[in-house]
Structure formats: C-alpha cells, structure tokens
Amino acid sequence: MRILVAMSGGVDSSVAAARLAEEGHDVTGVTLRLWGGESDTGCCSVSDVDDARRVADHLGIDHHVFNFGTDFERNVVQPYVRDHHEGRTPNPCIECNRHLKFDRLLRRALQLGFDAIATGHHARIVGARGRRRIARGVDPRKDQSYVLHMLDQHVLERTLLPIGGSTKEQVRAMATDLGLRTASKPDSQDVCFIKTTEGRVSFLGRRTTLTPGVVVDGAGNELGRVEAVELVTVGQRHGLGLPGGGPPRHALRVDPVSATVTVGAPEDLLVERQTVGPVSWAAEPVSGSLLVQCSAHGRPEPADVAPGPDGTVTVRWRERHRRVAPGQAVVFYEGDEVVGGGPAHPA
C-alpha cells in the first residue's frame, strides 16, 4: 500500500512512519508548512521541518514539504480570531485536523496516487467498512480521539493511525531503538502560530479590536472591568477585574456586542441541558444514552443525547453539569468509540 505519512517533526509521527515502513508499505513522509509567520512552539517551526526530514532520511523514505499556508490562514487562524471576537472558545487544533490534515492532505494524497494517509495521533480506527469509528488510544494520558471527532467514513476508510495501540513510553522506546533523533523530543503543547514570547493578547491585538468590557452580576450591577471582553471565556474565574476578598465568581455569559461579562456563583454555572451543533457524525446520527466529553482531557459524563432536525443535538445531563463555553467541542462516545461531536451553543 502507498501511504503518505504526515510527519510533524515529533516522535509520534516519526514512529508512525517507521512502523509502516517496517510492515512493508511504500511510505513517503510529508511535512506541512502551515504558518508563514514566526513560530517557536507546536509543529510549525523551522526546526520541526528539519527534524522530520532527517528522520525520513534515517528511515530511507522520501520526504516532501507541502505549503498549505493559505488554507491554514483561512480555515484555522482567521476562525480563531473571529471566535474570540464573537465571544466563542476556539479550537484551532480541531480545525487544523478538520481542514488541513484530514481534508486538504488527503485530497492531495489521492491526487498523487497514494492509497491512504497516516498520522501520529494517539487514537485508533475500529469497525468495518462503512461503519468505522475513531476510538480512544490505549494510553489514556495521551488519547487524542476528542480532537478527531469530526472524521467521517470517507476519511476513516483512507486513514491509518499506527501508534494508537501503544503507550507513549512504548513509542519513545521504539524511537530510541531505531536511533531516531526525535526519541526524546518534548511534546508540543501550545497554539503553534502564537509565539510564547508574544502571547494571545499581542497576537489578537494585531488582528482584531480588543474591547474594554464591564463585569456585572445577574441584576446588572457593575462589579468591575476587563481590558478585553474578547479574552474572557465562560467559566473563567481569574482575571475578571473583581475586588478580592469576596465570594468566588465565574463568567456565566460573554456578550462582545455590549462588551459585558455577566458573573455569578459557581452553582450558577450548572445547567441541565446543552445544545450542540452543527454535529459531525462518524456515520449515522446516534441518540440515547452516551458518554459526553467537553474538553480534550476532560472526564466523560453520562447523558441522554437527542439529535434534532436542524443538525443540532440536545444533551440532557443526568446531573446538573457545568455549562460549556460556546464554541468548545462536545464529543459523544459509545464506550471508547467516538460517534460524533460539535461546538457548544450558549447555554
């Protein structure tokens, strides 16, 4: 099988390529140049491209670089800025997976005659043709199924995830045995297009207007002010410009139009239901009792899920649940298998 492996310059994608080559596949590595600006984190730095190229040389496989910078700007960076501007919580890694790694890359791979693509994500693909699903990786600390919830049958039937059945320690051990330069390389943690020396405030300040906002209680009484309402997230407690010494207050609602943040007590965050959508399903819509996860490493909670006719889903929690920030991904599981997910609506 001819397989195009996305090599980010990290240990996971390095071992993914190595395993497929050992299995006898015709493997080619590719590194995506996504961000044209300065970067010192994530998988967009110049050193990461060099690491991927050197690993490919070590494995004896071809290596290419695809420049998808225009697509990345349009589908990841601009929505990231727009979400902040409109009071939503962005998910840049999810959108990068959706639009770049499992859409743009797959289309290019098929055009070039490859049979499939592969990545170094810690997740598995289970099931038979026409009903495949993403499932959790065996290492719960590194599981990335949440950020792959949008993959449909077209993608799942043409994708391989070679390391999803291994722990991180096993991946690093294989890299060490093979003498790969990425064996001890730290995992990337931050948004790849924001420099650690710059931060989110400076990045967004160059691309959108940051508006000073007023912080009020449920009755509309002013309690404080924030420098930029666009930087406040539902559930946030610190950085709300409130005087110390009082009871804890959390952001309940963020309204960029009126530049207002409404705060309340921790129990005011609890809701009985959550609307999610538009929802991406692995195959057909699923209803009934599911596990619902609201952050990349959050604890899945049981809930009743009811798809609606407009592409949204109503989640009814078994016990009142902390409201999900608008825009944050809400992902549905049957056991360890992802059946779908989408962004949260305002509660």
Q: Is the pTM of this model over 0.75?
A: yes
Q: 57 and 173, same structural domain?
A: yes
Structure tokens at 290: 């599911």
- Is residue 205 a part of any domain in this protein? no
My answer on whether 9 and 95 are in the same domain is yes
Each residue of 195-225: b (16+ CB within 10 Å) or e? beeeeeeebbeeeeebbebbbbeeeeeebee
Q: Which of residues 264, 289, 309 is at a domain's end?
A: 264
208/233 Cα distance (integer angstroms)? 17
- Listed in sequence order, the residues at least 6 apart from 61 whose beta carbon sits closer than 8 Å to its beta carbon are 17, 21, 27, 28, 29
Residue ranges making up the domain that contains 235 = 210-264
pLDDT, averaged per 10 consecutive residues of the chain (347 residues), comes to 97 98 98 77 72 97 96 97 95 96 98 98 94 97 97 98 98 98 87 83 93 96 95 94 87 96 97 97 97 96 96 96 97 98 94
Give the CATH number for residue 335. 2.40.30.10
44 among known catalytic residues: no
Q: Is the dihedral of CA 201, 269, 286, 302 positive or negative?
A: positive
What are the DSSP calls for 315-335, one per residue?
EEEEEEEEPPPTT-EEEEEET
Residue 247 and residue 227 share a domain: yes
Residue 145 placed within a domain: no
Considering the domain architecture, whether residues 116 and 24 belong to the same structural domain is answered as yes
Instruction: Answer yes or no: are the C-beta atoms of 243 and 261 closer than 8 Å.
Output: no
Which residue in 44, 93, 96, 294 is the catalytic one?
96
Specify the pairing of strand 123-126 against strand 133-136.
Answer: antiparallel
Instruction: Answer yes or no: 96 catalytic.
Output: yes
- Cα dist. 235→2, 188, 250, 309 in Å? 46, 25, 5, 29
Q: 170 and 52 in one domain? A: yes
Residue 276, in any domain of the structure: yes
CA angle in degrees (0–180, nearest 5) for 245-250-255 = 130
Task: Tell me if 202 is assigned to some domain.
Answer: no
Q: Does any domain span residue 140? A: no
Query: Are residues 166 and 275 located together in one domain of the fold?
Result: no
Q: Output phi, psi for 125, to 5 deg.
A: -115, 125
DSSP notation for 234-258: TT--SSS-PPTTS---EEEEEETTT
Residues 53, 166: one domain? yes
- Cα separation, 58 vs 16, in Å, equals 14
Number of domains in the chain: 3
CATH number at residue 73: 3.40.50.620
Domain closes at, from 221, 245, 264: 264
Catalytic residue among 43, 44, 93, 192: 192
Q: Which residue has the tokens 């699923």?
A: 286
Confidence at residue 199, expressed as pLDDT on a 0 to 100 scale: 85
Amino acid 42: pLDDT? 55
